[in-house]
Amino acid sequence: MKNEFLKRLQIAFPDFAAKLGDGSTFGLDNVQTPATDDNLRDLEQSLGLLLPESYKALLRCSREFWLGSGVQFGHPFLHDFEPFDALTPQQQRSILHKGVSWPPPSQGMLCFAEFFMEADGDQVLFDVSRGLVEGEYPVIYYAHESSPPSVRQLTATFPEFMANHLLSGLS
């Protein structure tokens, strides 16, 4: 499975594939089967939004893969938090005690990977709020353990993230 993934990756993301090599340096693991066009249509329908062609190219390489303990690409999902009033009293107290705003700043963004650049459990997301711009969404880093939790743009496009930021964020 890994070898087929690496071959597909060389075509779709040559700069990233060159840096990744055979994957052993970065602990390539848990490589799953590639997504089909039908899978991608179903995913877009379930999310209610279009995915960038560049990201779909990655999913056509593998639906899921991990790099060491720092990156876990998997099933994308929207950050869709309940309104404050709908939270349990314990959850409300916890938020008030921490003094953070609600919902978190990642509200409405599409998470596509766990990315432990600063802390375990941080994520990379697409900011889908403005729709696709020239076929891409900005790539955002969500630092959930910072005080307060924060988001910041890493790159303007997914290919830029793959080529220039993903592996460097782990070194």
In this predicted structure, what is the pLDDT of residue 126?
Answer: 98
Q: How far apart are CA 73 and CA 77, in angstroms?
A: 11
| Residue ranges of the chain whose pLDDT lies below 50 | none
Q: What's the mean pLDDT when you consider all of the chain?
A: 92
If we measure between CA atoms, which residue out of 163, 137, 164, 165 comes closest to residue 12?
163
Q: What is the 3-state secondary structure (H, E, C) of 24-90?
A: CCCCEECCCCCCCHHHHHHHHHHHCCCCCHHHHHHHCCCCCEEECCCEEEEEEEECCCCCHHHCCHH
Half-sphere exposure of 89 (CA within 13 A, CB side): 0
Each residue's pLDDT tens digit, 36-59: 999 999 999 999 999 999 999 999
Each residue's pLDDT tens digit, 84-94: 999 999 999 99
Q: What kind of fold does domain 2-170 have according to CATH?
A: SMI1/KNR4-like (3.40.1580)
